[in-house]
């Protein structure tokens, strides 16, 4: 919400809300295919409709696997990638947070699977449930307390995070039927790790200029998921930021400045190369 005005003087920015999110329509799960594959296809159609043929992609959280699908399918359209706490490597989901979600991918009726680590023990204690169905555990991630945690965890100075964030997000999560959508998206996330090798092959083959800006204290997508990009990308600007998951909320101006410099340098280089090829 603050990044767009910070860059709008120089760049044309497009930030659509996915179905079921923000101010887009929220059809029920039996009326719309809430999957990363389907939403990526929808975003491809959206780009066609608004006639955007060349672009930089800002990839964060759920937006990363959607954007990587688009980039791998249309590498000729991608000018640069900006990746902020968006995962494409197994190292980025080998932590306590993901254990019950991985169990949910295998069995949606799982009970107490992957919940015996310190992170989820605290959740069970809060609910006073020594045995907990995995879908109930994941519903915890939709509560106000969990939303606040996502914004403040890993942030050295939590007063830098505006309560407007959860004041805006939580009423949307609390809409009737939205919990079913979020559980479906948790389940669909299991389709992403099998695509990691293909996305990594895209990085190696096409070498898109990439800016990594990663909140290094994120417990959802830890910094261990940022490092592997260095293996596959040659033209990479790499920055670990002293904050948590939503790095823009505390370091928005810094990240906007890094983006301006990165995009300007790489688009200028691309333009010079195109002019040279045309001579």
Q: What is the pLDDT of residues 191-246, one digit of tens each?
A: 999 999 999 999 999 999 999 999 999 999 999 999 999 999 999 999 999 999 99
* CATH code matching the domain that covers 3-278, chosen among 3.40.50.1010, 3.40.50.1820, 3.30.565.10, 2.170.150.70: 3.40.50.1820
Q: Given this model, what pLDDT does residue 142 score?
A: 92
**Strand runs (DSSP E) across 55-132, as ranges?**
55-59, 78-83
CA distances from 53 to 71, 95, 211 (A): 12, 37, 21
Q: Given this model, what pLDDT does residue 278 score?
A: 52
Q: What angle do CA 34, 68, 107 make, to 5 degrees?
A: 45
Q: For the chain, give every domain's residue range.
A: 3-278
Q: Given this model, what pLDDT does residue 102 score?
A: 95
Q: What is this structure's pTM? A: 0.93
pLDDT at 277 over 70: no
Is 245 exposed, middle or buried (CB count within 10 Å of its CB: 0-12, 13-18, 19+)?
A: buried
Least confident residue range of 16-25, 37-46, 93-102, 135-144: 135-144
Q: What is the pLDDT of residues 157-188, one digit of tens each?
A: 999 999 999 999 999 999 999 999 999 999 99
- What is the bridge-based pairing of β-strands 78-83 and 55-59? parallel
Q: What is the pLDDT of residues 69-112, one digit of tens each?
A: 999 999 999 999 999 999 999 999 999 999 999 999 999 998 88
Active site residues: 245
- What is the bridge-based pairing of β-strands 78-83 and 236-241? unpaired
């Amino acid at each position: 919400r603050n990044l767009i005005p910070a860059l709008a003087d120089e760049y044309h920015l497009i930030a659509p809300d996915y179905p079921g999110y923000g101010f887009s329509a929220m059809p029920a799960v039996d009326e719309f295919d809430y999957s990363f594959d389907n939403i990526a296809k929808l975003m491809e159609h959206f780009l066609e409709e608004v006639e955007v043929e060349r672009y930089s992609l800002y990839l964060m959280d759920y937006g990363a696997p959607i954007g990587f699908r688009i980039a791998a399918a249309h590498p000729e359209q991608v000018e640069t990638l900006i990746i902020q706490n968006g995962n494409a490597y197994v190292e980025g989901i080998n932590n306590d947070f993901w254990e019950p979600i991985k169990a949910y991918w295998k069995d949606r009726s799982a009970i107490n699977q992957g919940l015996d680590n310190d992170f989820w023990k605290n959740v069970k204690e809060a609910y006073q449930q020594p045995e907990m169905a995995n879908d109930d555990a994941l519903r915890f991630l939709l509560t106000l307390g969990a939303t606040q945690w996502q914004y403040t965890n890993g942030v050295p100075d939590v007063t830098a995070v505006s309560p407007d964030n959860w004041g805006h997000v939580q009423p949307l999560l609390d809409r009737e039927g939205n919990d079913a959508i979020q559980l479906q998206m948790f389940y669909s996330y299991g389709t992403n790790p099998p695509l990691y090798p293909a996305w990594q092959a895209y990085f190696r083959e096409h070498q898109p200029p990439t800016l990594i800006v990663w909140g290094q204290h994120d417990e959802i997508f830890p910094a261990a998921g940022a490092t592997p990009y260095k293996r596959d990308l040659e033209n990479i600007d790499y920055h670990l930021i002293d904050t948590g998951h939503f790095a823009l909320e505390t370091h928005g101006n810094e990240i906007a400045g890094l983006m301006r410099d990165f995009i300007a340098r790489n688009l200028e280089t691309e333009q010079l190369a195109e002019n040279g090829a045309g001579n």
